[in-house]
A and B are shown apart, each in its own frame.
Chain A
Amino acid sequence: MKYDDAQRVSIGIPGLDKMLDGGLLPGRPYVVSGTTGSGKTILSVQFLQQGVKQGERALLVAIDEPPAEIRENVRAMGWDVGKIRILDVHPAAKAYSKRVSLVEVAAQRSVSALMEAGPDAKAEAMKKASPDISIQSLQLMLKQELQEVKYSRVVIDSLTSLKKLSEMMEDTDTSILSLLRFLSEASLTSLVVTDLPDPTQLEPEIFICRGEIRLHKRMVGGRTDRCVTIEKFRGSAHDTLPRPMRLTETGMIIDAGKKIPKASLRELQAFTQYAR
């Protein structure tokens, strides 16, 4: 028995859904990895947008960029992202005053629709509190938020930053395990954004997650060459070839019917596990 298309979670990028044999499997955590500027955030927002289109509730946990900037960036693509909800955990400027405990942090951050994102009084209040954000406090915040709103998709952008922010405070490996478990138990299909994994290290999120979509960007013959690979996808057939990808004014386009040029393939082979 296989998952049929109705059960699959569409990413909203036709070529990518095709590579994934219809889409992601519901209720599981996935990783989107890539270097800076490879299109991870665009892919993530498209994934959330697709959920909203289907009448689902979608949540963006914004750590790398302040929500107002994300909104500006994606608006330039002509998307109406007003219905994506956003949890702003972008670290506020530190006030170097009294710290607030983790539990209190959970009570302070609140979710707003992406439409409403903007500098406001709340941000000012946050500055005073300047709580430290960590994986643990994020789990607590999400727990609170999920009690109020029933989401089906969530994006954490990015886990790499979140890890760096939490580094000093906790055992990040087990916290990540717990956070991803928490998302699964809440029946959320989640995308976790990370940097390209260090090939000599075993990053916990990469092996806990049920699949990894990797975005590649490198210079080949004097121009930027982009492609996408499915590194892992548990419980489903998937495309095993790298496919060319473009970032256009209307979002990410993946041509699942085409092979990447030979020169690009050689670049890819010279790198990471393909170098075997």
Chain B
Amino acid sequence: MIKEKVKTGVPGLDEMLEGGLIPGRTYVVSGTSGTGKTTLALQFLLEGSKQGERVLYVSLDEPPNEVRRNMMSYGWDLSRIQVFDATADVMSYDKTPVRDVSTERKVVYFGDVKDEIRKTSEKSPMDMTVNTLQELVKQEMKVRRYSRIVIDSLSSLRHFYIRTSEENASTISFIRVLSDIGVTSLVTVQLPEISKPDVEAHMARGEIRLHKWINGRGLMRGVTIEKYRGSSHDHRLRLMKISSEGIVIKSLAVRQTKTEEDGADTKQEAAANAPETIAEPPPSNAGAPGPVPDSSKPPEGGGP
């Protein structure tokens, strides 16, 4: 059996993963825009920092000051999470661009991130590439043995930091480096609305996919485990919610805390019908109230 799994810190997700992630491996968190990839990734790091682990957030999409601001509404204490600002500089289109790759950019604690966006240095905008980032992660890993790393997002890395001709090879190499250094890592991948699997999905040891769709009740959110090498896992779509405390996987969370708010939750459980029937055999179930899925029956065992 595999040694102790790494808890993601997302209520319900660890149960879907039969206890958590296998340590030292790289996993993909995928989803279309606005599905909660960054939130999930930070929750994963937060869980590590709560347990006194060293954790690193590599920010490629959003400047760290914005990420920190965004997460404030969850009331999380991100200050012990270390962050590397790998967001691109404004390009200088002057005739003699100064490309000083050695410009100091350091890993800092989220708590030390300034409120303002980092301004591009006039003299030396940095040419961040997949190579510099790969080296940085390796070096950082030697100095501070991180136990969790998040790359947010791999899509940005592919689009903006890798030359098109080398896209796949460089992406694979990057994921390989993460596995070689033996850190449990999550890389986020932004999916187009209609997608086909890409190299990262093949290379990663597992993929957690976030979904959103709309039905008569409004926006629904769900999560599936698309792949999980070396472990059994939940094969169903589970409803999730982005609440004021972060991401909560509902159907399972309900099962565990069913006594807490009975009335409200039964309604939400009923809502679980729709997505599962919609998600598996696509649309066309308009009107037909789907069969009652298992997830809405958990109280059965408990009895009256």
Contact = CB atoms under 8 A, between A and B. Distances in A.
Contacts of B212: 273, 276
B26 interface: no
Interface string A80-108: 00000000000000000000001100000
Contacts of A200: 192-195
Contact of B192 (A185, A202, A269): A202
B282 A184 contact: no
A174 B283 contact: no
B168 interface: no
B61 A276 contact: no
A199 to B, nearest CB: 4
A266 B63 CA distance: 38
Q: Which of A236, A242, A273 neighbours the largest number of chain B CB atoms within 10 Å of its CB?
A: A273
Contacts of A233: 34
B293 to A, nearest CB: 17
A177 interface: yes
Given A174-B160, A182-B90, A199 B194 contact: yes
Contacts of A173: 159-160
Nearest to B195: A200
B303 to A, nearest CB: 36
Contact of B66 (A102, A174, A234): A234
Contacts of B73: 1-2, 235-237
B256 to A, nearest CB: 26
A272 B212 CA distance: 11
Interface string B18-39: 0000000000000011100010
A208 interface: yes
A15 to B, nearest CB: 17
B282 A276 contact: yes
Nearest to A273: B193
A202 B66 contact: no
Interface in B214-239: 214-216, 218-219
B66 A28 contact: yes
Q: Which of A140, A178, A182 neighbours the largest number of chain B CB atoms within 10 Å of its CB?
A: A178
Interface string A1-45: 110000000000000000000000101100000000000000000
Contacts of B66: 28, 210, 234-235
B93 A199 contact: no
B62 interface: yes
Contacts of B155: 202, 207
B102 interface: no
B214 A265 contact: yes
B69 A235 contact: yes
A178 B90 contact: yes
Contacts of A185: 90, 117, 119-120
Contact of A232 (B33, B72, B90, B119): B33
A240 B218 contact: yes
Contact residues on B (Cβ < 8 Å of other chain), bracket: 35 or more
A174 to B, nearest CB: 5
Interface in B23-77: 32-34, 38, 61-63, 66, 69-73
A252 interface: no
B180 interface: no
Q: Which of B71, B73, B214, B218 neighbours the largest number of chain A CB atoms within 10 Å of its CB?
A: B214
A5 to B, nearest CB: 15
A206 interface: yes
B211 interface: yes
A204 B160 contact: yes
Contacts of B279: 276
B296 interface: no
Given A204-B159, A240-B219, A273-B212, A2 B72 contact: yes
B278 interface: yes
A130 interface: no
B1 interface: no
Given A202-B155, A207-B61, A270-B283, A103 B117 contact: no
B179 interface: no
B286 interface: yes
A276 B211 contact: yes
A233 B70 CA distance: 10
Given A231-B33, A234-B34, A262-B216, 18 more contacts: A28-B66, A178-B89, A178-B90, A178-B91, A185-B119, A197-B193, A200-B194, A200-B195, A201-B192, A202-B191, A207-B153, A212-B34, A231-B34, A234-B66, A275-B282, A275-B283, A276-B211, A276-B282
15 contacts: A2-B72, A177-B160, A181-B89, A202-B191, A207-B153, A207-B155, A207-B156, A232-B34, A234-B66, A235-B69, A237-B73, A241-B219, A269-B213, A269-B214, A269-B283
